[in-house]
């Protein structure tokens, strides 16, 4: 495993002549925390935005929250010329009146790069790969890392034929937060498979990813680059879920909404090593940067297998990412946020003349 270095970052103090402690003057930097009021675009809940605002305002001179729903909002953000943007949005609608499915979109990260503005986390190439679950899965398998066999049923050309082993797990290819995942997602017959594929096509307007079901426990592993080096720190947690009426345990949309899952520390040394090794391998294979979260389950033999990546994970003080830091390294929420922001500020952005025009990263309405 990669070596470890401390990522805790406490605000230092100086001693005045009267022996009273006082904080150093705030760092003269402008940080913008960006979210969206559109649920399909927003990856940062309001409580996370406010929590980060409190944390970062203690250290930096100018911290604000900006909501970006369209190009006008994006232009207002760029006009502020922040030193760093904390990303809570991947895509911006160019034609919001048409709705998410019918509007063309652009990557916020590409637009910021074109305007020489630094941002937290992975670049557009990695975010786009992570966003497309089958492409991410194939990239992981191409790197000789474990992930279960799969096939895709396109919404434009539905297919139900396959040579996979039942049971199978069926989910949308481009939705987060377990959207489209319910008690019918584990299928054991062709009839159940076809019914679930059709329902996702209709209800989620999405292609469908069908995988051989992994029956073991579920885990999520935070991965973060160590400050001043290329070493990666991996921090796993087990996500314990009660069985549903069909006897299956997995993170459905209903489980997440009810917040009934439990998060546990991983105490088995060999298992922890295997989880961390796979997580670091996946993080690297996807071209990830700075930090992210890798989800996996155990197969029937107890070996970890990649499910999906989240390179823009939630930054709340009670989310999976913060619990990975707390349970593994006793790193506080405040120190986690400061470390993520420091990594973004340390990374030099390319000069505007060398940047790829944001228009090259406009994506069709099908994304």
pLDDT band (50, 70, 90) for residue 254: confident
How high is the pLDDT of residue 249? 81
How high is the pLDDT of residue 5? 36
Long-range CB contact pairs, 245-252, < 8 A, 24+: 245/183, 246/183, 246/186, 248/183, 248/186, 249/218, 250/169, 250/181, 250/185, 250/186, 250/218, 250/297, 251/178, 251/181, 251/218, 252/178, 252/181, 252/182, 252/183, 252/185
Token output for 213: 């079901």
Top CATH class of 150-212 equals alpha beta
Mean pLDDT of 35-53: 94
Helix or strand (DSSP H, E) at 294: strand 291-298
How high is the pLDDT of residue 107? 96
Q: Point out the least confidently predicted range of 155-159, 297-301, 361-365.
A: 361-365
* pLDDT higher than 80, residue 85: yes
C-alpha span between 291 and 258 (Å, rounded)? 27
How high is the pLDDT of residue 22? 54
Question: pLDDT per residue over 165-215, tens digit each?
Answer: 999 999 998 877 778 788 889 999 999 999 999 999 988 888 999 999 999
Mean pLDDT of 55-67: 96
Mean pLDDT of 8-22: 44
How high is the pLDDT of residue 228? 80
C-alpha span between 86 and 290 (Å, rounded)? 12
- Could you tell me how many helices (H) and strands (E) the chain has, helices first? 10, 18
**pTM score, two decimals?**
0.87
Q: Point out the least confidently predicted range of 57-66, 128-137, 239-248.
A: 239-248
* pLDDT higher than 70, residue 367: no
C-alpha span between 265 and 268 (Å, rounded)? 9
Q: Point out the least confidently predicted range of 96-100, 145-149, 180-184, 267-271.
A: 180-184
Percentage of the chain beyond pLDDT 90 is 71
C-alpha span between 153 and 198 (Å, rounded)? 9
Q: Point out the least confidently predicted range of 49-58, 67-76, 346-355.
A: 346-355
Cα separation values, 252 from 182, 243, 266, 317, 319, Å? 5, 11, 22, 22, 16
pLDDT band (50, 70, 90) for residue 227: confident
Mean pLDDT, the chain, integer: 87
Q: Which fold has domain 128-147+214-311?
A: D-amino Acid Aminotransferase; Chain A, domain 1 (3.30.470)
How high is the pLDDT of residue 55? 97
Mean pLDDT of 24-36: 92
Residues in the chain: 367
Per residue, the 3-state secondary structure of 160-184, as one string, reads CCCCCCCCEEEEECCCCCCCCCCCC
Spans of all domains in the chain: 13-121+347-363, 128-147+214-311, 150-212
Complete edge-to-edge strand list for the sheet that includes strand 91-93: 91-93, 105-107, 362-363
C-alpha span between 171 and 156 (Å, rounded)? 16
């Amino acid at each position: 495993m990669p070596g470890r270095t401390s990522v805790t970052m406490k605000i230092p103090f100086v001693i005045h002549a009267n022996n009273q402690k006082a904080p150093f003057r705030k760092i003269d930097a402008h940080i913008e925390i960006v979210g969206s009021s559109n649920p399909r675009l927003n990856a940062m809940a309001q409580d996370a935005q406010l929590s980060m605002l409190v944390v970062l305002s203690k250290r930096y001179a100018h911290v604000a929250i900006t909501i970006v729903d369209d190009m006008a909002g994006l232009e207002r953000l760029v006009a502020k010329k922040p030193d760093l943007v904390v990303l809570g949005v991947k895509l911006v609608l160019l034609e919001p009146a048409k709705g998410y499915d019918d509007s063309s979109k652009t990557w916020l990260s590409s637009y910021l790069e074109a305007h020489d503005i630094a941002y937290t986390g992975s670049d557009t190439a990695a975010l786009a790969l992570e966003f497309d679950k089958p492409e991410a899965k194939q990239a992981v398998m191409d790197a000789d890392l474990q992930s279960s066999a799969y096939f895709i049923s396109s919404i434009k050309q539905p297919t139900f034929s396959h040579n996979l082993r039942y049971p199978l797990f069926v989910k949308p290819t481009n939705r987060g937060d377990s959207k489209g995942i319910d008690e019918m997602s584990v299928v054991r017959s062709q009839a159940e498979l076809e019914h679930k594929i059709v329902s996702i096509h209709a209800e989620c307007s999405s292609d469908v990813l069908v995988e051989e079901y992994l029956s073991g426990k579920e885990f999520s592993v935070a991965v973060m680059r160590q400050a001043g080096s290329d070493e990666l720190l991996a921090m796993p947690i087990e996500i314990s879920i009660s069985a549903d009426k069909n006897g299956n345990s997995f993170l459905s949309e209903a489980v997440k909404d009810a917040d009934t899952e439990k998060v546990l520390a991983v105490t088995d040394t060999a298992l922890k090593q295997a989880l961390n090794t796979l997580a670091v391998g996946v993080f690297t294979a996807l071209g990830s940067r700075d930090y992210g979260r890798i989800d996996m389950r155990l197969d029937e033999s107890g070996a970890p297998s990649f499910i999906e990546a989240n390179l823009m994970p939630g930054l709340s003080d009670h989310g999976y990412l913060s619990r990975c830091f707390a349970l593994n390294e006793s790193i506080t929420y405040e120190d986690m946020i400061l470390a993520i922001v420091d990594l973004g500020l340390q990374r030099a952005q390319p000069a505007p003349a060398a940047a790829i025009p944001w228009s090259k990263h406009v994506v069709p309405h099908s994304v």
